[in-house]
């Protein structure tokens, strides 16, 4: 069985491309060192390998189901949760005084990458719990944190995010779950929530739902939406779970993939009162949720990267072992068949996967390092860092979601009929990852967010910062040998970006909001490929610097980086010209299409 993750590449990204070993210079991380990070990563690999990878297929084949009102999961899930808890990963980035390790965000993402690659279904439970606790850390009162957050950090209770409703998925402004004030200051919740991952299970003593709802009598639209802490079991005075809070499992969703994660329809206030506590001020629910959205969306992007990565490694191993056919130049039928990795078209499929997943990993970790810079970097740079992170987030979420799917299709293609069977994991990764372009904001929503908001906010400052960082890396790369093709491709891409964005942004008012946004997808494609091209320039520059001193395996590794960067420059980046032209043209074909013409 192929490894699910490349330890070598993860360390290259963290310690050679990014300068993560310098994080301990920041006061919050003063107790750390590269060795500490290495230990944490090794621990993550071992826990992921032993307790998560072991039951990934079993959980896929045996979906959660209900017996006597209780959700049944394969036994490996509970064991995995125990191992994750014992490793201290639930609270790893929290303050030491809360029992955490104060891990930087980028290291935490690298840790989580192991679990996403090894078993994305089981990784859902702890990741939702971590996200829930983060949101509480930001907005909940100290008393709420003590009661609802600490058990999550300890991994005793799990958490969910309950946003969507059966009639309101992407359109959260239309949710109708209501919160009626009670005399003691709490609220009584009533309504249904759809697509709630981890919404019901017996893995933890309690489940804390973070629920979006409308306080009765409040305004329509997003201003009427507030956020509530809603436990599965009401919390006793001593902090232990007590009686049912009447959050009722109304059904399980049956998905193509991601089958290991319980996905539920929940009814609130069925058969009794569901009591919740308001988080912060009324009407701030969506703002609070979106405050955490950068991190959540980076998480989805990283999950997509890691599924693609695991598929790449599986198909690479297969391509080295499977012999089939001969080169066109060899006409001798008596000569042995060669491993298929020797065929140029198979190398194309493998190089494309490598370019996508390693480019995506570089992007996800780069964005994660911005989260750290925002929290612990130099004070005077934080505003700019925040704008850059805001701009990159729709790309970090959607680019790997879309392109890992293509990479996984390439993995199946490399393996042929074998890749299409359940004897190998790639078909499962392919089914799993197809969710990523949908949840946490569809690709359409990311495109609108990028073109309609992020590219213009603060007078376009985010784009300015992005362009200047790319230009700086282009400048620096001039000193290095062998990067001409890669630099030229990125420089050309930058020009196309600039002229296309100038054209479309300049016409925004004339076009009106609907036509202006009609080709937002092309903005996402264009800027997405460009940003990943930049990630490849950074990796290639790092490799070019290291190669002269490198020996044997290391030299091969750096050669591979340079060749994959070249591949991205030649086989991927030029595709953006099409999107740049389409975007600049403000073509109205889709805008003008009529329902009745379909």
Q: Across-strand partners of 267?
A: 192, 248
How far are the Cα atoms of 262, 310, 440 from residue 361, in angstroms, in the given order? 27, 12, 19
Q: Across-strand partners of 276?
A: 187
> Segment 365-404, which members bind its own copies (CB under 8 A)?
none
Among 435, 489, 526, 540, binds its own copies (CB under 8 A): 435
Q: Which of 124, 152, 452 is nearest to 258 (CA)?
A: 124
State which residue, 221 or 239, has the beta carbon closest to its own copies.
Answer: 221
In the complex, least distance from residue 100 CB atom to its own copies, rounded to whole angstroms: 33
d(CA 292, CA 456): 21
**Binding of its own copies at residue 329 (CB under 8 A)?**
yes
In the complex, least distance from residue 37 CB atom to its own copies, rounded to whole angstroms: 26
Q: Across-strand partners of 158?
A: 207
Among 38, 154, 554, 577, binds its own copies (CB under 8 A): 577
Q: Would you mind telling me the total number of residues written for the chain in this entry?
A: 598
> Segment 537-576, which members bind its own copies (CB under 8 A)?
556-557, 559-560, 563, 566-567, 570-571, 574-575
x/- track of binding to its own copies for residues 141-180 (CB under 8 A):
-----------------------x--xxxxx-xx------
421-427: long-range pairs with CB below 8 Å, 24+: 422/57, 422/61, 424/314, 424/318, 425/56, 425/57, 425/310, 425/311, 425/314, 426/311, 426/314, 426/315
d(CA 191, CA 529): 41
> Segment 216-245, which members bind its own copies (CB under 8 A)?
220-222
Produce one character per residue of 411-430: b if its CB has 16 or more CB atoms within 10 Å, e if not.
Answer: bbbbbeeebeeeebbbbbbb
Q: Which of the ranges 229-237, 296-304, 432-440, 457-465 carries the binding residues for its own copies, by CB under 8 A?
A: 432-440
Q: Which of the ranges 237-245, 327-335, 369-377, 486-494 carries the binding residues for its own copies, by CB under 8 A?
A: 327-335
Taken in order 273, 274, 280, 283, the sign of the CA dihedral is negative
Q: Which of the ranges 21-29, 74-82, 439-447, 466-474 carries the binding residues for its own copies, by CB under 8 A?
A: 439-447
Verify whether residue 440 is a known catalytic residue: yes
Among 137, 347, 469, 507, binds its own copies (CB under 8 A): 347
d(CA 370, CA 388): 8
**Binding of its own copies at residue 592 (CB under 8 A)?**
yes
Of the residues 440, 443, 525, 572, only one is catalytic, namely 440
Among 291, 456, 581, 586, binds its own copies (CB under 8 A): 581
**Binding of its own copies at residue 283 (CB under 8 A)?**
no
Among 85, 431, 507, 545, binds its own copies (CB under 8 A): 431
State which residue, 78 or 445, has the beta carbon closest to its own copies.
Answer: 445
Give the pair of three-digit tokens for residue 487.
Answer: 């630099």
d(CA 294, CA 449): 12
How far are the Cα atoms of 184, 204, 213, 350 from residue 180, in angstroms, in the given order? 12, 28, 10, 56
State which residue, 164 or 178, has the beta carbon closest to its own copies.
Answer: 164
In the complex, least distance from residue 416 CB atom to its own copies, rounded to whole angstroms: 5
In the complex, least distance from residue 455 CB atom to its own copies, rounded to whole angstroms: 15
d(CA 355, CA 358): 6
Total residues contacting its own copies by CB under 8 A comes to: 103
Active site (catalytic) residues: 440
């Amino acid at each position: 069985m192929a490894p699910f993750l490349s330890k070598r590449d993860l360390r290259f990204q963290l310690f050679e491309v990014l300068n993560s070993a310098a994080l301990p210079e920041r006061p919050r991380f003063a107790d750390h060192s590269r060795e500490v990070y290495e230990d944490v990563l090794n621990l993550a690999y071992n826990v992921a390998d032993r307790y998560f990878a072991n039951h990934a297929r079993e959980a896929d084949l045996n979906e959660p189901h209900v017996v006597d009102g209780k959700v049944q999961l394969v036994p490996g899930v509970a064991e995995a949760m125990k191992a994750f808890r014992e490793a201290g990963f639930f609270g790893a980035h929290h303050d030491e005084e809360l029992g955490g390790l104060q891990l930087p965000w980028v290291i935490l993402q690298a840790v989580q990458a192991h679990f996403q690659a090894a078993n994305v279904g089981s990784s859902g439970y702890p990741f939702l719990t971590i996200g829930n606790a983060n949101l509480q850390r930001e907005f909940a009162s100290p008393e709420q944190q003590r009661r609802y957050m600490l058990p999550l950090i300890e991994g005793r209770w799990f958490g969910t995010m309950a946003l969507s409703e059966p009639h309101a998925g992407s359109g959260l402004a239309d949710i109708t779950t209501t919160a009626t004030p009670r005399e003691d200051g709490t609220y009584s919740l009533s309504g249904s929530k759809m697509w709630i991952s981890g919404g019901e299970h017996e893995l933890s003593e309690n489940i804390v739902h973070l629920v979006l709802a409308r306080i009765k009598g409040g305004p329509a639209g997003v201003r009427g939406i507030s956020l509530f802490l809603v436990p599965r079991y009401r919390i006793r005075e001593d902090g232990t779970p007590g009686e049912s809070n009447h959050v009722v499992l109304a059904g399980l969703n049956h998905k193509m993939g991601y089958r290991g994660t319980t996905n539920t329809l929940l009814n609130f206030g069925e058969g009794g009162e569901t009591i919740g506590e308001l988080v912060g001020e009324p009407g701030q629910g969506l703002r609070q949720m979106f405050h955490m959205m950068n991190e959540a969306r980076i998480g989805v992007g990283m999950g997509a990267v890691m599924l693609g990565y695991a598929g790449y490694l599986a198909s690479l191993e297969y391509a080295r072992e499977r012999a089939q056919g001969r080169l066109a130049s060899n006409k001798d039928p008596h000569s042995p068949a060669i491993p298929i990795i020797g065929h140029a078209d198979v190398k194309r499929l493998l190089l494309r996967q490598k370019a996508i997943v390693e480019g995506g990993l570089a992007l996800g970790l780069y964005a994660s390092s911005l989260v750290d810079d925002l929290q612990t970097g130099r004070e005077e740079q934080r505003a700019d860092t925040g704008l850059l992170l805001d701009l990159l987030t729709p790309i970090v979420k959607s680019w790997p979601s879309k392109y890992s799917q293509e990479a996984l299709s390439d993995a199946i293609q490399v393996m042929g009929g074998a890749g299409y069977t359940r004897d190998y994991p790639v078909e499962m990764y392919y089914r799993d990852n197809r969710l990523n372009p949908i949840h946490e904001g569809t690709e359409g929503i990311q495109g609108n967010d990028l073109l309609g908001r992020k590219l213009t906010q603060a007078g376009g400052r985010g784009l300015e910062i992005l362009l200047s960082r790319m230009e700086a890396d282009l400048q620096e790369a001039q000193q290095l040998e062998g990067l001409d093709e890669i630099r030229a491709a990125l420089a050309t891409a930058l020009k196309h970006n600039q002229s296309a964005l100038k054209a479309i942004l300049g016409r925004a008012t004339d076009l009106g909001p609907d036509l202006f946004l009609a080709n937002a997808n092309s903005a996402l494609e264009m800027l997405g490929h460009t940003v990943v091209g930049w990630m490849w320039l950074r990796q290639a520059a790092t490799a070019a610097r290291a190669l002269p001193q490198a020996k044997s395996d290391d030299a091969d590794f750096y050669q591979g980086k340079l060749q994959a960067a070249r591949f991205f420059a030649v086989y991927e980046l030029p595709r953006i010209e099409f999107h740049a032209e389409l975007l600049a043209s403000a073509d109205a074909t889709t805008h003008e299409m009529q329902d009745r013409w379909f």
